[in-house]
Amino acid sequence: MDKVKVLEKYLPADAAPLIGRWIDYFKCEFKISRNRNSKFGDYRPPHLEKGHRISVNFDLNPYAFLVTTVHEFAHLHTWNQHKHKAKPHGTEWKDNFKKMMQPFFEKDIFPMDVKRAIVSYLNNPAASSCSDLDLYRALRKYDAPKESVHTVEKLPPKALFKLKDGRVFRKDEKLRKRYKCIEVSSKRVYLFSPVAEVEHLEEKN
């Protein structure tokens, strides 16, 4: 199937042709990954007989997929320019990310709130991939709603929740950036990111 047609299933349709051209221009092996990674995407520089490789998770919403794709292409471009001399999310990468985001801003692809979050992310010198919570939250709003899956910060106080591995916790107070949660079986304290995805367990009284 035509590359752009495939990309249109994952990206905002207006963004697909340019990403298709980047794949050709940069001679990049672009993979839509079905692995459930904690990372949204991945870039690997040329190694032995392999060229540039980018993979992006299939289950991202179209805006998150596009931001991740541009993020990874900015790594590729930075690699071409500087090889090992540039830090992964240093100023060189950041400048490229900004530049490579421009055509999508010009096409008005993003909803206002996402655009605002990307712009403030681009202007924050400390920001790196997924560690920017505001950008992550703005992008997450466009995910299809998943039943009973919530982020820790959205749970009511003292809520019970379950992780994918089956362990059950109770939400407790917020400590600076993270939530203290108590594992029910062991009574041990764990710290959770506010955006950790968990299954909310409703308690019947």
Q: Which residues bind Zn ion (CB under 5 A)?
A: 129
Q: How far apart are CA 146 and CA 198, in angstroms?
A: 11
Q: Residue 93 Cβ, how far from Zn ion at the closest point, in Å?
A: 7
- Nearest CB to Zn ion, comparing residues 17 and 45: 45
DSSP single-letter state for residue 50: B
Q: At closest approach, how far in Å is the CB of 57 from Zn ion? A: 14
Residue closer to Zn ion by CB (options 33, 129) is 129
Contact call for residues 199 and 155 (beta carbons, < 8 A):
no
User: Rounded to 10 degrees, what is the CA torsion of 103, 109, 111, 114?
Assistant: -40
Which one, 5 or 39, has the nearer CB to Zn ion? 39
Neighbours of 1 (CB within 10 A): 6
Alpha carbon 42 to its chain's center: 10
Q: How far is the CB of 38 from Zn ion (least distance, A)?
A: 13
Least distance between Zn ion and beta carbon 76 (Å): 11
201 backbone φψ class: left, alpha, beta (φ>0; ψ -120 to 50): beta
DSSP one-letter string for 39-103: SSEEEE--BTTB-EEEEEETTS-HHHHHHHHHHHHHHHHHHHHHGGGS-TTSHHHHHHHHHHHHH
Please identify, using beta-carbon distances, which residue of 117 and 159 lies nearer to Zn ion: 117
Of residues 17 and 90, the one with the C-beta less far from Zn ion: 90
Residues 6 or more apart whose Cβ sits within 8 Å of residue 108: none
Least separation in angstroms between residue 11's CB and Zn ion is: 18
**Residue number with CB closer to Zn ion (61 or 129):** 129
- Min CB(89)–Zn ion separation in Å: 6
Using Cβ positions, the residue closest to Zn ion within the complex turns out to be: 129
